[in-house]
Amino acid sequence: MVQSSVLGFPRMGRLRDLKKANEAYWADKLSRDELLAEGKRLRLEHWKIQKDAGVDVIPSNDFAFYDHVLDHIQLFNAIPERYSKHNLHKLDEYFAMGRGIQKDNVDVPSLEMVKWFDSNYHYVKPTLQDNQTFKLSENPKPVAEFLEAKEAGIVTRPVILGPVSFLHLGKADRNQTVDPITLLEKLLPVYEELLTKLKEAGAETVQIDEPILVFDLPSKTRQAFKPAYEKLTALQGAKGPQLVLATYFGDIVHNFDVVDSALTKTYALHVDLVRHPEQLEKVIEHLGPKQILSAGVVDGRNIWKTKFQRAIEIVETAVQKLGKERVIVATSSSLLHTPHTLESEQKLDAEVRDWFSFAKEKAAEVAVLAKAVTNGPDSVKAELEANAKSMQSRATSKRTNNPEVKKRVESVQKADYERKNPFTTRYEAQKKHLKLPEFPTTTIGSFPQTKDIRIQRNKFTKGEITPQEYEKFIEKEILDCIAIQEELGLDVYVHGEPERNDMVQYFGEQLDGYVFTTHAWVQSYGSRCVRPPILVGDVSRPKPMTVKESKFAAENSKKPMKGMLTGPITCLRWSFPRDDVHQSVQAQQLALALRDEVVDLEKAGIYVIQVDEPALREGLPLRAGSEREKYLSWAVDSFKLSTAGVEDSTQIHSHFCYSEFQDFFHAIAALDADVLSIENSKSDAKLLKVFIDEAYPRHIGPGVYDIHSPRVPSEQEIKDRIEEMLQYLKPDQLWVNPDCGLKTRQWKETKAALSNMVSAAQYFRQKY
Ligand code: GLN
Ligand code: ZN
């Protein structure tokens, strides 16, 4: 029979229970035992959900209080001394690494956290020493959780991160020079010990994740797979569990030689057939003679119902070649990236609700698919029929298809992507029009989102104050912001974004083609969750979205007011995208909606307009090469389409929360934005060198101070930083601004920091 399996389940619980428990524990409002008990309750609940859904292979050790990679850091005792030396309780040591600790004379910042592949989840980076040793922790978590499930009557398949991925995803600690992959030999005995213990506890199979197989890997890393898996597969059967080697988020075709060298000896191989269905045939060719294929056909990264017909076709193809005993139907990746359950969405309109499937529903989907293939379609007739009906409804719905939008897209001309004139001509027009000093100062958009703002927004959402009252409140906030900027002596003002709850949601709520959920949270990092809006259909803008506030602000200020928009790629990336049209199409539709907004802002008297694209880089495909170039080409096009509708004298800004442009500088340059503001205060100023090397002609505002900390930078510090920047940028190219928006800051430190920033800019005006 074809078995069904889930690669991992979200940890937060139905109502973000884990977030609440963690945060209560950190605030000393919940005891350690209570937190541990809550973790146990959630694990049991999640196993039960999957069991009740009919899933055959249920994962364990997919739960983590903070992050699963951090779990492995502790599991292998790869804990830097600055955390281990305080003899903290294990749980507190764990959180200290995850989020830093400043308590009872212990003061250590967290380990570095970075994006998990191209998802919006962040993992804690293993941070390794030159003389690193590894030792399996006492009562290893994967064993403990396997036994916990077993006690509850559920036999699970523990999930662990494989040794090669663990090392490859890690880095040398500061002041250390070790190349992590060279530590493999030292690490393997710990895996052998762990696998042996799992087998002793009764685990017949273990899922071992090596997701880095979807990357282009350096040869040292590629070569590490063979020795690692020769050792680990040798244990299979007698001393150790059968290994299910899992890859996801990409294809593994370019790494087949690695697979051939040792990975065909694992009991099963899992591949992502949602993102890369075309790899199926080649993967089958490369399987070992008895190796089982775990076919990831239920999307772990999105919220759409699985197209059963298509999924069954894929699984059937595999079954025809391999037989039912050698195929498992699975989620494409862990369901970590999907919300908990659709049952919580009581406010969604019934038509669209029927198109979605969250983690709990996806668990049921794998079970239905396995049944359909094992016993024939008639065994799940009702489910298949309902699914086909839902697919049909979505494909033909007016919400999905808007002929007006299609017409508009077709009418786009090549010229619509280009500004009227090149930068030098535009700059002359802008100089005359805007009359800005040298070293112009500005901010990135938001000002402190005070408690009062949140209270009033809440009251407004609940209907406790009228729209007029709320509008008055927002206007007052804007006026206050302007008065403060005037007093500080900034050159280009912003309205402060008090009316915005979130930089994507705010636009999504006003665009046709989006829907919103009430509980569809997904973990971003630690206890932080995001609730991305969902793109369901063709996007259009029924009416202006930001003109009212920006116009009011511009009319009440003596200096240029900057309009503030979120760019098409960021709107796309920070939403759940559609899976029925290519992302480039969605980006183009978003771009057209934003283009109208940009033009309307200009008409309303806003002559500096910033279109933020902080998410541009994270959309970069995981592998370099043609896929990446294709993405950059449509991403750049959509930015240009959104901004190119204005006159020469209107200045287009864009903002990025990073400054590592090396791999795709040509794309940044191709945006043709008049001014770029970028994060830079925590990065090496040398990163700016690329701007001279590439003879970048336009203007740049590298952030002069870090906005993530309440610390106020001195005027001297800012001057020093600008001086450093001037090694790489020409004086007349440079803008002076903070790293990013100021919404998370308090007013007190904001004013102090900006005042120092303005003084520093004045100093350079004198000097040059
Ligand atoms: N304009 C936004 C702000 O200032 C930009 C936020 C961002 O880059 N993430 O808040
Ligand atoms: Zn930013």
657 alpha carbon – ligand 2 mean position (Å): 4
Q: Is 108 helix (H, G, I), strand (E, B) or coil?
A: strand
Task: Report the nearest atom of ligand 1 relative to the CA of 655.
Answer: 8
Q: Is the CB of 71 under 6 A from ligand 1?
A: no
- Indicate the residue type of 118: D
pLDDT at 683: 82
Whether residue 103 is predicted with pLDDT greater than 90 in this model: the reply is no
Whether residue 768 is predicted with pLDDT greater than 90 in this model: the reply is no
- Mean of the per-residue pLDDT values of the chain: 97
Starting from the CA of residue 741, give the closest ligand.
1
pLDDT at 190: 98
Ligand 1 pocket: which of 500, 740, 750 to mutate (most atoms within 8 A of CB): 740
pLDDT at 659: 86
CA distances from 261 to 205, 223, 503 (A): 22, 9, 47
CA dist 495 and 207 (Å) reads 51
263 alpha carbon – ligand 1 mean position (Å): 45
pLDDT at 708: 86
Q: Please check whether residue 399 is in contact with residue 88, taking contact to mean a CB–CB distance below 8 angstroms.
A: no
CA dist 672 and 652 (Å) reads 9
Whether residue 633 is predicted with pLDDT greater than 90 in this model: the reply is yes
Starting from the CA of residue 706, give the closest ligand.
2
Give the count of beta carbons closer than 10 Å to the beta carbon of residue 462: 8
CA dist 62 and 49 (Å) reads 14
CA angle 98, 103, 109 (to 5 degrees): 35
Task: Report the nearest atom of ligand 1 relative to the CA of 443.
Answer: 4
Cα end-to-end span (Å), the chain: 78
Phi, psi dihedral angles at 702 (to 5 degrees) = -75, 130
CA angle 711, 714, 720 (to 5 degrees): 120
Average pLDDT over residues 718-741: 97
CA dist 429 and 423 (Å) reads 10
* % of the chain residues with pLDDT over 90: 96
* pLDDT grade for 663, boundaries at 50, 70 and 90: confident
pLDDT digits (tens, 9 = 90+) for 137-192: 999 999 999 999 999 999 999 999 999 999 999 999 989 999 999 999 999 999 99
CA dist 404 and 142 (Å) reads 54
The enclosing H or E element of 767 equals: helix 747-767
Q: How far is CA 767 from the centre of its chain?
A: 43
* Of residues 115, 23, 248, 15, the one with CA closest to residue 574: 115
Phi, psi dihedral angles at 115 (to 5 degrees) = -65, 135
Max CA-CA distance within the chain?
82
* pLDDT grade for 102, boundaries at 50, 70 and 90: confident
* pLDDT grade for 277, boundaries at 50, 70 and 90: very high
Q: Is 358 helix (H, G, I), strand (E, B) or coil?
A: coil
pLDDT at 147: 98
As given in the structure block, the two tokens for residue 506 are: 């705010």
Q: Is the CB of 500 under 6 A from ligand 1?
A: no
Ligand 1 pocket: which of 655, 656, 677 to mutate (most atoms within 8 A of CB): 655
Rg (CA), the chain: 27
Model ipTM value: 0.99
670 alpha carbon – ligand 1 mean position (Å): 22
pLDDT at 330: 98
445 alpha carbon – ligand 2 mean position (Å): 9
CA dist 380 and 398 (Å) reads 29
CA dist 273 and 287 (Å) reads 15
Q: Is the CB of 79 under 6 A from ligand 1?
A: no
Q: Is the CB of 657 under 6 A from ligand 1?
A: yes
pLDDT at 97: 97
The pTM assigned to this predicted structure is 0.94
Q: Please check whether residue 147 is in contact with residue 193, taking contact to mean a CB–CB distance below 8 angstroms.
A: no
Mode of pairing for the β-strands spanning 512-515 and 534-540:
antiparallel
Q: Residues with catalytic annotation?
A: 708
* pLDDT grade for 336, boundaries at 50, 70 and 90: very high
> Which residue has tokens 């380990």?
111
- Cross-strand partners of 207: 159, 244
* pLDDT grade for 205, boundaries at 50, 70 and 90: very high
- What is the DSSP track for 590-609? HHHHHHHHHHHHHHTT--EE
Q: Is the CB of 537 under 6 A from ligand 1?
A: no
CA dist 590 and 581 (Å) reads 13
The residues, ordered by sequence, that sit 6+ positions from 463 with a Cβ below 8 Å of its Cβ are none
pLDDT digits (tens, 9 = 90+) for 373-399: 999 999 999 999 999 999 999 999 999
Side-chain-side CA neighbours of 608 within 13 Å: the count stands at: 27
The residues, ordered by sequence, that sit 6+ positions from 526 with a Cβ below 8 Å of its Cβ are 22, 66, 67, 98, 99
* pLDDT grade for 547, boundaries at 50, 70 and 90: very high
Whether residue 592 is predicted with pLDDT greater than 90 in this model: the reply is yes
Average pLDDT over residues 644-668: 95
CA dist 237 and 243 (Å) reads 10
Residue identifier of the C-alpha nearest atom 10 of ligand 1:
741
Whether residue 104 is predicted with pLDDT greater than 90 in this model: the reply is no
Whether residue 328 is predicted with pLDDT greater than 90 in this model: the reply is yes
Starting from the CA of residue 740, give the closest ligand.
2
- Indicate the residue type of 248: Y
CA dist 25 and 298 (Å) reads 35
Q: How many residues does the chain have?
A: 768
**Residue of 262 and 385 predicted with greater confidence:** 385
As given in the structure block, the two tokens for residue 407 are: 């017409």
Task: Report the nearest atom of ligand 1 relative to the CA of 741.
Answer: 4
649 alpha carbon – ligand 1 mean position (Å): 24
Residue identifier of the C-alpha nearest atom 1 of ligand 1:
445
Q: Is the CB of 503 under 6 A from ligand 1?
A: yes
pLDDT at 499: 97
* pLDDT grade for 7, boundaries at 50, 70 and 90: very high
Using a 10 angstrom Cβ sphere, with 0-12 exposed, 13-18 middle and 19 or more buried, the burial of residue 358 is buried
pLDDT digits (tens, 9 = 90+) for 452-504: 999 999 999 999 999 999 999 999 999 999 999 999 999 999 999 999 999 99
CA dist 108 and 345 (Å) reads 40
3-class secondary structure per residue, 702-766:
ECCCCCCCCCCCCHHHHHHHHHHHCCCCCHHHECECCCCCCCCCCHHHHHHHHHHHHHHHHHHHH
Phi, psi dihedral angles at 485 (to 5 degrees) = -65, -35
The residues, ordered by sequence, that sit 6+ positions from 386 with a Cβ below 8 Å of its Cβ are none
